[in-house]
Amino acid sequence: MERRAFIAMLASTPAASLAAGDAEQPPAPAPKPLSVTLLGTGTPSPSLERQSSGYLIEAGRDVIVWDHGPGAHHRLLETGRRSVDVTHAFFTHLHYDHCMDYGRLVLQRWDQGADRVPDLNVYGPPPIARMTEQLFGPEGVYGPDIRARIEHKSSQDQFVARGGTLPRRRPAPKVTEIHAGSVVSGDGWKITVGHAQHVQPYLECLALRIDTSEGSICYTGDSGPSDAIVELAKGCDILIHMNHYFSGTEPSPAYRMACGNHRDNALIAKRAGVKTLVLTHLLGQIDRPAVREQIVHEIQNVFEGKVIWGEDLMRLTLADARISTIESRQG
């Protein structure tokens, strides 16, 4: 096959949908109602049913991920979204089960985007800036890969076929380090950053709350019982909370303070006055019939709102500060 014909064939593939350099740009998508899709509801423990922590927030015209642990990016693709759709990435803390797919998100977005999408906006606690440089910088882990994709003729051909114009830029995420008290605003949304009680002082650990005209969602990251979480989540419509293990089985007080348990979560949801509690970060030992029901029952003895046992690819949509739909994309 001649080179020109081959390049034309590449340009006609779905990966080139961002191309058409001289064609009219498609109109901006209409704003979507506030929704959250649970990309990963598992833990660091290997699981074929639950990927590690990750959440997809759709608000206005923005597509936001909160944490991106191993397997979360695969789940993102299963939702029908792609890396090039993501506008913002937030990280609560840098345990690997919350950030391992960061590299995949950035590199696939850069590769498929062919310099035709804005750089990714990234927010997280220190050392997210150093981590980003050590991954994608010239001397970083992926430095040789990135150089080959920029300089080798075959990779340049792919880049041009996808609509890029040489010379190719390096991936350059726009990184902002955040702390409890930080506020980030976007297209009709505001994210407030709070303190999470987990593994300090070794990692700075944060929680996130998004507010829009349609409602509010709070995500604790990984956190044990904390007044700061109660304050951040006050009156929110959905609270997504780590529910790692069964109350009373913790090996030490320190473990409980770092991870909490279902009875702690019931009190937090009640004190915060939230409408719906979504349980996530679930160990296999509690993810079983009868145990699940007992946990939900005991929570409902304390907390009067709705309790949802989170599942990968479950999507919750808010309208007028109420959950309008609960969808499952599994199967």
In tens, the pLDDT along 51-101 reads 999 999 999 999 999 999 999 999 999 999 999 999 999 999 999 999 999
What is the rounded distance in angstroms from the CA atom of residue 248 to the CA atom of residue 192? 32
102 touches 89 (CB < 8 A): yes
Distances in whole angstroms, Cα of residue 162 to Cα of each of 69, 158, 167, 168, 261? 28, 6, 14, 12, 48
What is the rounded distance in angstroms from the CA atom of residue 240 to the CA atom of residue 265? 10
CB atoms within 10 A of CB 21: 9
176 touches 122 (CB < 8 A): yes
For residue 44, give the H/E element and its range. Answer: none
What is the rounded distance in angstroms from the CA atom of residue 147 to the CA atom of residue 170? 8
Amino acid symbol at 270 = K
In tens, the pLDDT along 122-157 reads 999 999 999 999 999 999 999 999 999 999 999 999
7 touches 164 (CB < 8 A): no
Which residues of the chain fall below pLDDT 70? 1-30, 330-331
Which of 63, 3, 75, 2 has the alpha carbon at shortest distance from 34? 63
Predicted confidence at residue 26, as pLDDT, reads 53
